[in-house]
Every structure is written in structure tokens, then in C-alpha cells.
Structure 1
Amino acid sequence: MDEGLFNYERTHTLLDGSEGGESLLKAVEAMRKAANDGHAAAANNFGTLLHHGRGVHQDLTAARAYYHQAAETGLPNARFNLGFLLVRGLGGEKDEARARTLFLLAAEDGDLDAITHLGAMMMAGAGGPQDFESALSWWARGVDLGDSRCAFNLGIAHAGGHAGDVNFVAAWYWFKQAQRFGNDGATAELDRLDMVMSEEEQAAVIACTSR
């Protein structure tokens, strides 16, 4: 077993059942060593520790460097994490175009955080051209993977006319999906729709639920 893998596996042994203290510090040090030995997942995880200041002093610049190291290997969640810092200008300069590219690469590998954020950037035209159709397509893919945020976003898009004409029935469908996935905000949106939908739209909703 190479040293990077050994240190990475050791961190999980130390973190199991650990709530802090000496075990956490040992785990952080083992994660750092594994990351510096070139273990991609360890680099991403150590970047996360630096990002959030868990077991180490928060250092967004260093977090960005470790995320970059891991992202260069193609690790989807590292690509998302690096994109997250880039799109907000944390730990260095803001770069929406690069963030959007990273989100796209991670989304293509099924990373749900990336899918959610990529759709939002496409919808807003951030980091590249505005592309409603692609945004909706990515969010629909996220729903297929069980993501409540994507279902909620589709509801917002249809209710606000960002998917073409305002379509309260389609919005209701997506908010209902989000609610089924456990999205707390979806219930309030469903209540709002109930107050503004026409009788015909209400009937269409009832028809959908009876199928």
C-alpha cells in the first residue's frame, strides 16, 4: 500500500466515533500527509477541512489549492468544490467562467451539487451564455437522480415563466416532486399556487394526482 493511501485510510479509522480532540487532530494530520502524497480524495477532504476550519484554522487560499490539486485528477466533488470557491471569489479571484466549466464537468459525472449550480448559472447567464433550455434539462436530470433542489428550481422556473409561458400546473407538479423528496420550501410554494390557480388549472392538478 502506498503512503498516501495508507494515510487516507488511517484518517477514517481516526475519525470513526471521533467528536474532536486528539483523534481529530491526528486525523487532520494524516489527511494532510495523504493529500501531500498525491491522494486525490485526501486533497479534496483536506481542502474541505481548510474551507470550513474543522481541526485546522480556516484558510480559503489553501483550500482552493487543495481543491485544485484534487480537481486536476478529475474528481467530481473536487471540481464542484473548486468551482464553488471560484464563483464566489473565496480564497482568490472570482472566475465565473471557469467555475461554470468545472460545474459542467462534475455534472457530467452525476455530481448533484454541480448539476444544481450549473443550472442556476445557465439560467442567469453567469459565466457564459444564458441558456434556459439547458438549465431545465440539467435540473430534470437532477430530479431523475432524486435531488429536491432541482425539482424545486423547476417549479420556480415554470411558475415564473422562465421555461416559456407561465405554467402553474407544471410548477405544481415539480413542487410536489420536491416536497416528496423532502424539500421544506416546496410546501409553501404549493400553498401559494393553490391561491392563484384558476379552476381549470386546479382541475388539471386533480387529474394529475388521480392518474
Structure 2
Amino acid sequence: MVIATLFFASPALAQTVLDGKGALAEFDAGMAALEAEEFETARVHLDRACQWGVAAACHNLAILWTNGKGGPKDMSRARPLFQTGCDGKYGGKNPEDACFNFALTLEKGWGGAQDLTGARNYYLKACSIGQQFACFNAGNMQMQGIGGDVDDAGAFASYDKACGLDIGDGCYNAAFLIVKKRATGTAEKGFAHYKTRACELGVEKVC
């Protein structure tokens, strides 16, 4: 199961800029335009802020290119902007949603060639900084050997983190790996923990 969802960045995350107050002012103007649903204006301001180094602006501009609001829809323009949003910084914080979105474009082949190895790596990056759906998707790729070798220990770790971030299917898949004896030496919490948590999070087939 792959979660095909795109996430907007929070305006609170954009603090570090290359061009001082001017870039941040452009970002703020872009976010205000988004709030007002003035998407064409938002594109103008976010594009300027992105060019001046505000990674959050690049991410939100990518969303607008993705959904076609305020202008044409063009995934070939969105995809590199997601990467810029991911590999940049927001006030010392990594943009986990931009990393997830970039991984998704790589996995699906949106806006360019499919790159499963790259998708796996960026899901893992997003997971490492707390993007819950990225943890689940990374676990799927590790368990199935997509974009790299089968990595049961890595898959279990990814599912365990997804479970801890309230993704019920992550709990279910962690339990699955234990049952199949593919999580030997890594499953400290045990099958019952993951089964119970999956049920609590709405995975009815284990209740």
C-alpha cells in the first residue's frame, strides 16, 4: 500500500533565507495569498522566495504546479521544486513533507523518469525526520526489495516507526514480519503489542 498524498508546508517553518528580509517578505506574501485563495499571486511571490533560498516556498510552489491552481499543471516543474524543498532547510528543520512528496514523484514517475532507488532513499530520509507515511512506504519497499535489496530489519524498523506515529498498517506489517519470522532479533515489543496497536488504530482485520 502506498499513500499518494501531497502535503503543504507550514509557514512557521520558513525562517532561514539567503536574501534576508526581502525573501521572507515574499514568502509571507505568498502564504497570505494562499490563505486568500489568490493562487496566481501566490505563485509569483513563492517563486521569488524560492529563488532567494526559502525552501518552504519551493515546496508550496511545487504543490501549485501539481494541482494546477493559479496556473498550468506541470509535474515536470513541480518535481525539482519538491527536491529543493526537501534538501533545503526551514529554520534548522528538515522539510519532511517535501521529502515525502519528492519520493512520491520518483516512485510514480511523475514529472520525469521513475526512480525506485531514489524513491526509497527519499522515503527513508523523510521517515528519519518524522514523516509517518514515508516510514510506511519505505517499509514496503524494504520488505519487498523494491529500489534495493530486501531488508527485513530495515523494514521492521520503518514499520515500527510508522506504528509509533499512529499508522495502523505499519503496526500490522510489523506484526506480519514477526509472524513470518522475518524480524528475528529486532522485535522487542512482540507480536501482541503490534496486533493490539493495529486494532486500536482501526485495522479491523486484526481485531
Instruction: Please give the range of the TM-score, normalised by the shorter of the 2 chains.
Output: 0.7 to 0.9
TM score, norm. by length of structure 2: 0.73
Aligned position for 2:46: 31
> Could you list the runs of 5+ residues in structure 2 that have no partner in the other structure?
1-19, 89-93, 185-189
Give the SS at the match of 2:70: coil
Within the candidate set 73, 77, 83, 1:68 is matched to: 83
- Alignment check: 8 A CA contact 1:155 1:175 kept: yes
Identity of aligned residues (%): 22
TM score, norm. by length of structure 1: 0.72
Assess, with a 3 A threshold, how the Cα gap between structure 1 residues 140 and 164 changes in structure 2: closer, same or farther: closer
Aligned position for 1:105: 125
Assess, with a 3 A threshold, how the Cα gap between structure 1 residues 57 and 148 changes in structure 2: closer, same or farther: farther
Assess, with a 3 A threshold, how the Cα gap between structure 1 residues 177 and 90 changes in structure 2: closer, same or farther: same
User: 1:85-127 CA distances to partner (integer Å, 9 max, x unpaired)?
Assistant: 1111111111111221222222222221221111010011011
Please state which structure has a larger fraction of its residues in helix: 1
What is the letter of the counterpart of residue 8 of structure 1? F
Assess, with a 3 A threshold, how the Cα gap between structure 1 residues 98 and 164 changes in structure 2: closer, same or farther: closer
Distance 1:27 1:98 in 2: 30
Assess, with a 3 A threshold, how the Cα gap between structure 1 residues 8 and 131 changes in structure 2: closer, same or farther: same
TM-fit CA distance, 1:57: 1.9
Map 1:95-174 onto structure 2 (within 5 A).
95-157=115-177, 161=180, 163=182, 170=191, 174=194
RMSD, aligned CA: 2.5
Aligned position for 1:84: 104
Distance 2:153 2:115 in 1: 23
Aligned position for 1:5: 24
Distance 2:183 2:130 in 1: 26
Assess, with a 3 A threshold, how the Cα gap between structure 1 residues 91 and 155 changes in structure 2: closer, same or farther: same
- Alignment check: 8 A CA contact 2:198 2:206 kept: no
- Alignment check: 8 A CA contact 2:199 2:206 kept: no
- Alignment check: 8 A CA contact 2:26 2:48 kept: yes
Ranked by relative contact order (alpha carbons within 8 Å, sequence separation 6 or more), the top structure is 2
- Alignment check: 8 A CA contact 1:132 1:162 kept: no
Give the SS at the match of 1:2: helix
- Alignment check: 8 A CA contact 2:58 2:81 kept: yes
> Could you list the runs of 5+ residues in structure 1 that have no partner in the other structure?
192-211
How many matched pairs?
178
Distance 2:199 2:43 in 1: 38
Assess, with a 3 A threshold, how the Cα gap between structure 1 residues 150 and 35 changes in structure 2: closer, same or farther: same
What is the letter of the counterpart of residue 58 of structure 1? K
User: 1:61-98 CA distances to partner (integer Å, 9 max, x unpaired)?
Assistant: 00112112222325332222111111111111111112
Distance 1:94 1:29 in 2: 29
Assess, with a 3 A threshold, how the Cα gap between structure 1 residues 127 and 7 changes in structure 2: closer, same or farther: same
Pair 1:190 & 2:199 matched = no
Distance 2:105 2:33 in 1: 28
Distance 1:83 1:90 in 2: 10
Assess, with a 3 A threshold, how the Cα gap between structure 1 residues 103 and 66 changes in structure 2: closer, same or farther: same
